[in-house]
Amino acid sequence: MIDLHIRPERPADAASIAALLYAAFAGNQHSNHTEHQIVERLRAGGRLAVSLAALLPDGRLVGHVAFSKVTIDGRDEDWYGLGPLAVLPQAQGQGVGAALVEAGLSVLRRKGARGCVVLGEPAYYCRFGFAQDAGLRYPGPPPEYFMALPFAGPAPQGVVAYDGAFA
Ligand SMILES: CC(C)(COP(=O)(O)OP(=O)(O)OC[C@H]1O[C@@H](n2cnc3c(N)ncnc32)[C@H](O)[C@@H]1OP(=O)(O)O)[C@@H](O)C(=O)NCCC(=O)NCCS
């Protein structure tokens, strides 16, 4: 296991986070390579609810995860969306992504959030407890790629919308 320090982002991290997002998604065929702009828009709007950086002992940033509020049928139900999640290509496959997701979900739980959704690979996110929920819908992608993790009680039902920064 890689020696890793995970902490909330700091103002001085912004440029490194943008570069990391760009590098991590460069080879992703499902990406339109705007993830760094999404995070910048969320940050600028004060809507980056959780933003964690993963650093090596020498201070190099190797991973980042963001969470922002989602709405369900237009309502604020204290649910969040995970993403983007990114790990530098040379640091992938060593548990950095998993450590960031677990740390971010813990922060959300401590904040009293009621649940989290993610749009991504079921084979990756099921290990954290995310699962498809027929009552929580996200129009567009195949439904198996949209997953939910309730923290308290059953998930609300309805159509999920991400922050406008993702548009
Ligand atoms: C996806 C990503 C964040 C995973 O981070 P990571 O630090 O490499 O992941 P971990 O080391 O925690 O986990 C590695 C495991 O995830 C699996 N995995 C990684 N990417 C995967 C993917 N896209 N689909 C399915 N499984 C994946 C690996 O096969 C490995 O499986 P194993 O534990 O059974 O061996 C990283 O590969 C990345 O930044 N990719 C480019 C950006 C991206 O696609 N982000 C996610 C958007 S949904």
Q: In what order do the strands lie in the sheet with 71-72?
A: 71-72, 158-161, 136-137
Q: Which amino acid is at 61?
A: L
Confidence of residue 2 (pLDDT cuts 50, 70, 90): confident
**CATH number, domain containing residue 116:** 3.40.630.30
| Tokens coding 13 | 């991290």
Name the residue at shortest CA distance from atom 26 of ligand 1: 124
Helices 35-44/14-25 angle, 10° precision: 150
Residue 1: is its pLDDT beyond 80?
no
CA 141 to chain centre: 17
Cα dihedral 34/37/43/47 (nearest 10): -50
Number of domains present in the structure of the chain? 1
CA–CA separation, 80 vs 152, rounded Å?
A: 13
24 C-alpha to ligand 1 centroid (Å): 11
Q: Which residues line ligand 1 (CB under 6 A)?
A: 24-25, 28, 85-87, 92-98, 120-121, 123-124
Express each pLDDT in 101-126 by its tens digit: 999 999 999 999 999 999 999 999 99
Give the residue numbers spanning the domain of 80: 5-166
22 C-alpha to ligand 1 centroid (Å): 16
Express each pLDDT in 11-60 by its tens digit: 999 999 999 999 999 999 889 999 999 999 999 999 999 999 999 999 99
